Structure 1
Amino acid sequence: MRICLIVEGSYPYVSGGVSSWIHSIINEMKEHEFVIFAIGADTKKRGQFRYELPPNLIEVKEVFLDEYMYEDKRWGKRYNLSAAEKGCLAALINGQKTLNWGALFDLIRSEKFRNVGDFLTSTDYFDLVEELGKNTYSEVPFTELFWTLSSMILPLFLTIRHNIPEADVYHSVSTGYAGVIASLAKHLYNKPVILTEHGIYSREREEEIIKADWLKGYFKDLWINYFYTLSSSIYESADQVITLFNRNKEIEIELGCKAEKIRIIPNGVDIESFNNVVAEKDDEIIRIGAVIRVVPIKDIKTMIQSFALVKQQVPNSVLYIMGPSEEDKIYDEECKQMVKSLGVEDVIFTGMVQVKDYIVEMDVMILTSISEGQPLAILEGLASAKPFVCTNVGGCKELIYGGPDDTYGAAGFVASVMNYEEIAGYVIKLCQDRKLRETYGKNGFERVKNEYKRSEFIANYREIYHSLGGEENGGYRLRTS
């Protein structure tokens, strides 16, 4: 069987998290061929893969959202759009969830749109923006509205015009641009589509937009509605929607996904590959570890502020921030500057490391994200019998405290987002109580061992692939030559 995984902003350019999840699926299912449709932000990243690609990954198709910068444009062209075509385009730029995606796909991929840049400098587009300005943004300068909308929809149009590799199953690992491409694949080839949402993409974009300094307030709703509109495409087209915990399912239903499509499959971890024995140490250092990418959504700055308070009460503590920093070099530099400005000692940015080698030495693990799905970092930490302090996002609370029928007990503490004092208080409590650390570590280990098995996670996806795109359904046979 040939499976096309559609990914945005992750594999194979970014390590950890969702990328590790994708890599493990491909490696575990050697009986299938995989194709990656990778959507990235920056053309400069082309070919800069962070993973050694498995032999059964036969193609990586790279598409970048900044490609529009390299297109020539002709001003003033007239497209003579029909009323239905104008309606599709107006629904997109107005952020309507009733958009006819099939009609929009046909229009954008037609000969009319051979050069997308020409459309966004056409009189037809000018008329659409003018109408939106009169009806909704009458107080906003027209030129600002024009260029804001252009920057919003041009990357989408160019992405839609790309060819999509043929496959038996299309599996999008988020909504957003990736979800639109999965919907397009179903429209073109009438093949089954799967969506897995680790975090709720549209909610994450909303959080980023609200905090964004580069976007003026009156355009924030425009962008937020746009991302919710993108998400609606795959909620409608997907044959199966998979999420990792019940709260995500509830949000998906709120956003318009039919409940009967949704199935919960938690992430899993191979418990045997982690050392769950508390290391004997020949020093008095308390090691606090964070397996994390140095990017804003992980809120490293709150972690540093928390550690500054911890250091006052636990002077023998050291914070290890373990993960790549290349993804957002400006943010990385801001975090390191914060360490200096606060005068905090013993904060170590390790960069990429073999997590299993480091995690065994840690006494306490910490995660301060402002948005998560069901973090592999927590699963791996608990598989190593380490207690956690994390923020109350995504499925973190369920991992630490368990569900309604849980019998294992707490595996740490869950704090409010961005509340560095609360986070610090919990970390200090664990640092000062070895017996509590050991108890919470054991509880977490038992929960992961019994409830989050990697073998079950892989088996569930194998069954879904087989049921939707197996050879009896006309699928490809794996090439052996």
Structure 2
Amino acid sequence: MKICLIAEGSYPYVTGGVSTWVQTLMTEMHEHEFIIYVINADSKRQGQYVYEFPPNLVEVKEVCLDSYKIEKGKWGKRFNVSDGDFANIASLIGGTASTDWGRVFDLLRSGMFENTIDFLSSKDYLDIVEGLAEETGHPLPFNDLFWTVNSMIQPLLIIVRETIPEADLYHSVSTGYAGIAGVLAKHLHGKPLLLTEHGIYSREREEEIIKADWVKGEFKDLWIRYFYNLSSAIYDAADEVITLFHRNMEIEVEMGCAEEKISIIPNGVEVGQYAALPAVPDDGVIRIGAIVRVVAIKDIKTMIHSFALVEKEIPNAELHIMGSADEEEMYYEECLQLVSSLGVKNIIFTGQVNVKEYVGNMDMIVLTSISEGQPLAILEAMANGKPVVATNVGSCKELLLGKSGDDKPAGIICPVLHYEKIAEALVKLCRNPKMRETMGRNGYERVRRFYRKSVFIERYRTLYQSLGR
């Protein structure tokens, strides 16, 4: 069977998280051929792969969302878009009514438009934005609304007009743009569509937009409705929807996904691979590890603030931040400046490492993310018997405290952004080796029972066979 995996902003450009999940899926399913359809924001990243591809990956299709920069169009042309298509595009942009995505695809892929600029510079598009302005009564100048909507839908137009490789099954690994590419693939080729949602994409975009300076306040609601509209498209079109834990399933149902479509398949690790890792050195140093990319969504700055307090209480403590720092270089520089301004001495940025070579040396693991799905970092820590301090995002609470919340704890859950509480939890573990040992043992038992890689792979194997037969 040939399976097309559709990803956005992850594999094969960055490591960890969803990217590791994609690589594992392909490597373990050697009986299938895979195509990777990957969406990235910057054409400079094209071909900059950080993974060694497995032999059964037969094609990589890259779609760059900045490709419009080389397109040319003529302003003011009218294409005589029908009233029905006009209203349908307006509903997509405004997020005020259900969108007929098949009709959107057929219009934008038609020979009517030579490229995306043709549409965005047409009088038809101008009429749509004018109608939106009248309907919503935006107080800001029309020019601001025009360019806001332009930047909002331009990436979508690029994806809709791209060629979709033919496959027996399409598998989007998020909603958003990757989700729309999956809906388009099903529309064009009539093949089954599977969605795996690690985190809730539309909720993550909503958080970013609310905090963003580049979106004017009056337009934030427009952006947020737009992203929810994108998610609804694949919730409706997907034959099966997979999520990683129960709370995510509840959110998907709240957002309109049919409950009967949804199954829970948690991530997994191979516990045996962590059994013989090196033990913690007996040198009097307390090592706190963070298996994490240095990016804003992981909130490394809060981690640094927390460790600054820990270092005052536990002078022999070290923080090892184990992950790449080249994905958001400016953010990494800001983190280094924060370390310097706080006068923290014992923080080590290791860069990208083989986790199995480092995690055995750690006394505990910390994760301070502001958004997560089901973090592989926590599963790896638990498989090695390490206690974890984590923020209450995604499935972190379920992983560390059990599904009922009153199981034997494998770590401590703290509020997002609350560096004092995080520091307090870390100091508590630093001072209590018996607690570290007990929590580590609890975590190991939980991951051994409920989060095994072999089970995760077998369930996807069965699902692929069921959908692709």
Name the TM-score, length of structure 2 as normaliser.
0.98
1:344 aligns with 2:344: yes
Distance 1:339 1:406 in 2: 37
Q: Does residue 372 of structure 1 match 2:372? A: yes
1:340–1:147 CA distance, 2 compared to 1 (3 A): same
Secondary structure at 1:37's aligned position in 2?
strand
1:406, distance to aligned residue in structure 2 (A): 6.9
What corresponds to 1:141 in structure 2? Answer: 141
Q: Contact 1:277 / 1:385 at 8 angstroms: preserved in 2?
A: no
Quote the Cα distance in structure 2 between the aligned partners of 1:57 and 1:4.
10
User: For residues 281 and 319 of structure 1, what CA distance do their matches in structure 2 show?
Assistant: 15
Contact 1:97 1:228 in 2 (8 A): no
Hey, what's the Cα distance between the residues in 2 that align with 1:399 and 1:3? 30
Q: 1:438 to 1:163 in 2, by over 3 A?
A: same
Matches of 1:102 and 1:333 in 2, distance apart? 45
Q: Deviations over 1:237-262 (max 9, x none)?
A: 00000000100000000111000000
Give 1:276 deviation, angstroms. 6.5
Partner of 1:296: 296
Residue type of the alignment partner of 1:346: N
Query: What is the 5 A alignment of 1:14-33?
Result: 14-33=14-33
Partner of 1:446: 445
> 1:463 Cα shift?
0.2
Structure 2 equivalent of residue 467 of structure 1: 466
Q: Which amino acid aligns with 2:187?
A: H
Letter in 2 for 1:192: P
Partner of 2:456: 457
User: Using the alignment, how far apart are the partners of 1:340 and 1:120 within structure 2?
Assistant: 47
Return the alpha-carbon distance in structure 1 between the equivalents of residues 276 and 259 of structure 2.
38
Gaps of 5+ in 1: 471-481
Going from structure 1 to structure 2, the CA distance change for 1:97 and 1:345 (only over 3 Å counts) comes to: farther
Match of 1:113, SS state, is coil
* Distance change >3 Å, CA 123–CA 41, structure 1 → 2: same
Aligned to 1:403: 403
CA distance in 2, matches of 1:309, 1:406: 29
1:114 Cα shift?
A: 2.1
- In 2, distance between residues paired with 1:335 and 1:39? 28
Instruction: Note if contact 1:39-1:62 (Cα within 8 Å) is conserved in structure 2.
Output: yes
Q: Which runs of 5+ in 2 are unaligned?
A: none
Give the Cα–Cα distance (whole angstroms) in 1 for the partners of residues 211 and 202 of structure 2: 14
Given that 1:209 and 1:223 are in contact with CA atoms closer than 8 Å, whether structure 2 keeps it comes out as yes
- Write the letter of the residue equivalent to 2:261: K
| Alignment match, 2:78 | 78
Shift of 1:211: 1.1
- The alpha carbon displacement at 1:342 in A equals 0.8
Distance, in Å, in 2 between the alignment partners of 1:302 and 1:113 is 48
Alignment of 1:197-276 (within 5 A): 197-275=197-275
In 1, the alpha carbon distance for the partners of 2:277 and 2:115 equals 60
Amino acid at match of 1:365: I
CA RMSD of superposed structures (Å): 1.1
**Post-superposition offset of 1:58:** 0.2
Deviations 1:417-444 (A, max 9, x none): 0000001100000001101000000000
Whether the 8 Å CA contact 1:97–1:232 is kept in 2: the answer is no
Distance 2:159 2:280 in 1: 53
Aligned partner of 1:416 in structure 2 is 415
Partner-residue secondary structure (3-state), 2:146? helix
The change in CA–CA distance for 1:91 and 1:437 in structure 2 (over 3 A counts) is same
Are 1:274 and 1:384, in contact at CA under 8 Å, matched by a contact in 2?
Answer: yes
Offset from partner CA, 1:280-328 (integer Å, 9 cap, x none): 5231110000000111111111100100110111110010111111111
- Deviations for 1:9-65, whole angstroms, at most 9, x for unmatched residues? 000001011000000000000000000000001000000001001110000000011
**Residue 131 of structure 1: how far off its partner (Å):** 1.4
Report the 3-state secondary structure (helix = DSSP H, G, I; strand = E; otherwise coil) of the residue aligned with 1:326. coil
SS of structure 1 residue aligned to 2:455: helix
SS in 1 for 2:112: helix
Find the aligned partners of 2:241 and 2:119 in 1 and give their Cα distance. 34
CA distance in structure 2 between the aligned counterparts of 1:59 and 1:4, rounded to whole angstroms: 9
Q: What is residue 426 of structure 1 aligned with on the other side?
A: 425
Q: Distance in 2 between matches of 1:129 and 1:280?
A: 61
Q: TM-score, normalised by structure 1?
A: 0.96
Which moves more between the two structures, 325-334 or 4-13? Answer: 325-334
User: 1:277: Cα distance to partner?
Assistant: 6.7
Letter in 2 for 1:322: M
Partner Cα distance (1:366, 1:282) in 2:
21
Query: Highest relative contact order (Cα 8 Å, sep 6+), 1 or 2?
Result: 1
What is the identity, as a one-letter code, of the residue corresponding to 1:230? L
- The structural deviation recorded for 1:112 is 1.1
| Structure 1 residue 96 displacement after superposition | 3.4
- Amino acid aligned to 1:142: F
Instruction: State the SS of the aligned residue for 1:369.
Output: coil
Structure 2 equivalent of residue 329 of structure 1: 329
Question: Which position in structure 2 is the counterpart of 1:317?
Answer: 317
